[in-house]
Amino acid sequence: MTAVFPELPDFPWDSLADHTARARTHPGGVVDLSVGTPVDPVPKLIQDALGSVAAVSGYPTTHGIPALREAAVAALARRHGVAGLNPDAVLPTIGSKELVAWLPTLLGARGRTVVIPELAYPTYEVGARLAGASFVRSDGLTALGPETPAMVWLNSPSNPTGRVLPVAHLRKVVDWARERGTIVVSDECYLALGWDAEPVSLLHPDVCGGDVTGLLAVHSLSKSSSLAGYRAGFVTGDPALVAGLLEARKHAGMIVPLPVQHAMLAALSDDEHVAEQKARFGRRREVLRAALTAAGFTIEHSEAGLYLWSTRGESAWDTVSWLADLGILVAPGTFYGPAGDKHVRIALTATDERIESAAARLS
pLDDT by residue for the chain (363 residues), tens only, comes to 666 677 777 787 788 889 999 999 999 999 999 988 899 999 999 999 999 999 999 999 999 999 999 999 999 999 999 999 999 999 999 999 999 999 999 999 999 999 999 999 999 999 999 999 999 999 877 667 778 999 999 999 999 999 999 999 999 999 999 999 999 999 999 999 999 999 999 999 999 999 999 999 999 999 999 999 999 999 999 999 999 999 999 999 999 999 999 999 999 999 999 999 999 999 999 999 999 999 999 999 999 999 999 999 999 999 999 999 999 999 999 999 999 999 999 999 999 999 999 999 999
Handedness of CA 126, 129, 133, 134 (dihedral sign): positive
Q: How far apart are CA 78 and CA 260, in angstroms?
A: 22
CA distance 299 to 313: 11
Q: Which helix (H) or strand (E) holds 94?
A: strand 90-94
Q: Beta-carbon neighbour count of residue 325 at 10 Å?
A: 13
Candidates 137, 133, 135; CA nearest to 105 is: 133
pLDDT for the residue 146: 77
Query: What is the structure's pLDDT at 15?
Result: 84
d(CA 29, CA 33): 13
d(C-alpha 116, C-alpha 101), whole Å: 13
With a CB cutoff of 8 Å and minimum separation 6, the contacts of 285 are 195, 308, 348
3-state class (DSSP) for residue 358? helix
Measure CA of the first residue to CA of the last residue in the chain; give whole Å. Answer: 58
Q: How far apart are CA 8 and CA 33, in angstroms?
A: 25
Q: Which helix (H) or strand (E) holds 135?
A: strand 134-137
Quote the pLDDT of residue 67.
98
* pLDDT at residue number 192: 96
Q: How far is CA 164 from CA 197, 316, 346, in A?
A: 7, 23, 17
Q: Classify strands 344-347 and 215-220 as parallel, antiparallel or unpaired.
A: unpaired
Q: What is the pLDDT of residue 286?
A: 98
Look up residue 271 and give its DSSP letter: S
Sheet holding 215-220, edge to edge: 90-94, 232-237, 215-220, 183-187, 151-155, 113-116, 134-137
Looking at residue 143, its pLDDT comes to: 64
Alpha helix stretches (DSSP H) within the chain:
17-24, 44-51, 66-80, 97-106, 122-131, 167-180, 205-208, 239-252, 258-268, 272-294, 316-325, 352-362
DSSP secondary structure code for residue 28 in this structure: T
Of residues 177, 117, 188, the one with CA closest to residue 149 = 177
Domains in the chain (CATH in brackets) are 12-41+273-362 (3.90.1150.10), 55-269 (3.40.640.10)
The answer to whether 324 and 336 are in contact (CB under 8 A) is no
> Considering the entire predicted model, what is its pTM?
0.94
Question: Which residues are registered as beta bridge partners of 154?
Answer: 186
Q: What gap in Å lies between CA 207 and CA 171, rounded to an integer?
A: 5
